[in-house]
Each structure stands twice: as C-alpha cells, then as structure tokens.
Amino acid sequence: MGMSYLVYPGAHHTRFHHAVGCIYLMQKAIDTLRMKQVEINNKEEEALYIAILLHDIGHGPFSHALENVIVKNMNHEELSLRFMDLLNREFDGGLDLAIEIFKGVYHRKFMHQLISSQLDMDRLDYLKRDSFYSGVAEGNINSDRLISMLDVKDDQLLIDIKGIYSVEKFIVARRLMYWQVYLHKTSLAAEQILVKILKRAKEMIGDDISLKASKSLLYFLTTDVDAASFDNTALRMFSSLDDFDIISALKEWSNHPDLILSSLSNSIINRKLPKVIIQNKPFNDSYFKKISDEVAKSYSIDIEKVDYFVFQGAVKNQAYNAEDERINILDKNGKITDIVEASDDLSMSGLSRSITKYFICYPKLY
C-alpha cells in the first residue's frame, strides 16, 4: 500500500501475506467452478496456483510508488514475468503453463481472467485485506459470496445474476478505497517525495557525491536500467531490494549536508509532510508560479531546484471500465451481459465514468 501507513497506521501488511491470500481464494474459486462442472485438470490447477502466487513478484519497494522509477519503462507485470522465466529455467519448464496463463496466451481464456481481470483473485484479496488493515470498514467486500457466484460460459469468467448486488457493492467499495485510501492526498504526496528523493540521490551520485545505501539500492542509483538492459544481474539486485533498503537509506540521508536530500528524507522519516491541496480542476499556472517563487526564496534555493519541494500532478480513477475489461453477468436464461446493462439502475453507468483530481504540494512551513 505504498506510503498509506502514514495515514492509516495499521496498513503495514506485506505482499507475502497478499500472495498467500490469493492462493487461498484461488483454491476456493477452483472448488466452486469444478462444482459447477467447469473442468479444470490438475496441471491447470497447479499452474493457476503458481501464476497467482507469482503475479506480483515483480513489485519493487513501496509497490506502485516506485514503479517505472527504479527500473525505467518496465511495469511490475513485465518484471514478474522475468522472475517467472528465471524460475522456469530452474524448474526445467515447470512453469510453462503458468506463464501462458499469466500472459493470456493459453487457449482457455477464463484462466487468465482468474489471474487478471476486474474480478480476479488479486482484487478480491487486496480490497478485503487493505480494508481490514487500514480499518476503512467501507472497503470491505464479501469475497466469499463473490467467489461462490463465479461461473464459466463460452470460456468467459462470469458472475451469476444472483450475485449482481455483490458486484455493485464490490465496485463501489473499490472506488471508495481508491479515493479514500490508495489516492489519499497525504500518501500521494509522500510517494511523490520518495520519487524525488531517489531522483536527487541519482543526481548527486552523478556528481560524484558519495551516498550511504545498501548494495542493491546503490546498483540502481548508479546504473540506468530499462527493459532493454535489464539482465540477470539487475534481476538479482532487484530481487533483494525492498522497503528496508529505502527506509534505511532515508534514515541515513536525513542527516546529509545536502539540503534537498536531507529535508526530503526527513519529511518522510519524521512525518514532516507537506501541505497538499486537491481539487477537481487543474491549478492555474500563476498560482503555481507564485508558490514556487516564494518557496525558492525562503529556502534560498535556485528556482530550477524548487520543483523538489513544490509540485503538482493529477490522479485518475475509473471504478469500472467496460471497454477495458467487462464484468460479465449470466442471467437466468443463460444470456451474458455486461454489469452496466444488467444492473437495474443507472448508478453503474455513473461508476464507469473516469474521474480526475488535481493536487499541488508545497512545504507546510511556507
């Protein structure tokens, strides 16, 4: 959950716990589908467990916060695939089927949907788990009931119409978790600062200023790694990099003589978080410039460095996107329709609108 723990102090659960939870839900889903005469053989079952267990292994420290930062232009799915490929070589092709399912190239498409779709085991686990650990009760979903409503027709994963209200509740819960937790302005700001700290560290190392950090973190600070240059060394380094490396570095850097590095590090370590304003329309340029000027002046820093402290951005969320991936509902006559159509009111069409919010951050002292 990135830096959400700064807002919700219970949110310290780990990706390991999530991976175990996903396998558990996958077991339930397979049981349910088999009971409904969907044939899944033992090899497919094993592959589904492997795929869901490893689906997130490519996440680096602080999850999405540092995606595309530590490794340029590679998202966590591509990184997960690199790990699976390596393991597949070690296990002499034992992950072949899991990888096919993960990539979505296996001929039985519904299996990929169990791993990655609007109602995959990943979401069913993380929404419930994040709601539990953050204490945001409204995000709780009934994953047991949702799984018991799963079915497959024409190789499509779908939900029996009896479960339609649970699906709606799921979509609303998801939207709520996005705005209230995942995109909470405070954790958003903290995550931006994290990105800026790493940028500053790289810059300084480029200027031959030595910085204390773990071996793995130093590797990524000194080497520009992207999809093309991502080799086995990079993979090994990446695999040993986690939140501990980042936080330990920040703790050291918070005492560094460089004002930018130390004050940013300090703002995370000692919760001296910036002021964040969030609104439904973009901020105007003159307002942004005015703040930038004043911060540059009061911090006595160059105006081109002020974007370490004053910055803006946008976040977007669409609770349900039918164009991307539909949630299929199976009605009593065996017809398949999209949830928006099947739902008996208009709220679903509202939920499929994309919402954008704009934020601006600057130091509180100001």
- Closest CB 17 distance from a second copy, rounded Å: 5
Helix (H, G, I), strand (E, B) or coil at 12: coil
- Closest CB 344 distance from a second copy, rounded Å: 5
Cβ nearer to a second copy, comparing 300 with 333: 333
Cβ nearer to a second copy, comparing 59 with 112: 59
Could you give the CA distance from residue 362 to residue 307 in angstroms, rounded to a whole number? 9
Helical H segments across 223-284, by residue range: 232-239, 243-253, 259-269
Q: List % helix, strand, coil for the chain (3-state, nearest 5).
A: 55, 10, 35
- Closest CB 219 distance from a second copy, rounded Å: 13
Cβ nearer to a second copy, comparing 68 with 186: 186
DSSP state string for 322-344 = TTT-PPEEE-TTS-EEEHHHHSS
Cβ nearer to a second copy, comparing 111 with 189: 189
Cβ nearer to a second copy, comparing 180 with 263: 180
The Cα diameter of the chain in Å comes to 71
Cβ nearer to a second copy, comparing 72 with 316: 316
Q: How far is CA 62 from CA 9, 102, 139, 199, in A?
A: 15, 23, 21, 16
- Closest CB 320 distance from a second copy, rounded Å: 10
Cβ nearer to a second copy, comparing 107 with 281: 281
- Closest CB 353 distance from a second copy, rounded Å: 5
Q: Residues with Cβ < 8 Å from 205, sequence gap 6 or more?
A: 211, 221, 222
Other Cβ atoms within 10 Å of 50 Cβ, number: 22
Could you give the CA distance from residue 116 to residue 104 in angstroms, rounded to a whole number? 9
Q: Where does this chain bind a second copy (CB under 8 A)?
A: 9-10, 12-14, 16-17, 20, 133, 137-138, 140, 142, 145, 165-166, 168-169, 172-173, 175-176, 179-180, 214-215, 240, 244-245, 247-248, 251-252, 255, 280, 319, 344-351, 353, 355, 357
At residue 128, what are phi and psi to the nearest 5 degrees? -65, -45
- Closest CB 155 distance from a second copy, rounded Å: 29
- Closest CB 141 distance from a second copy, rounded Å: 8
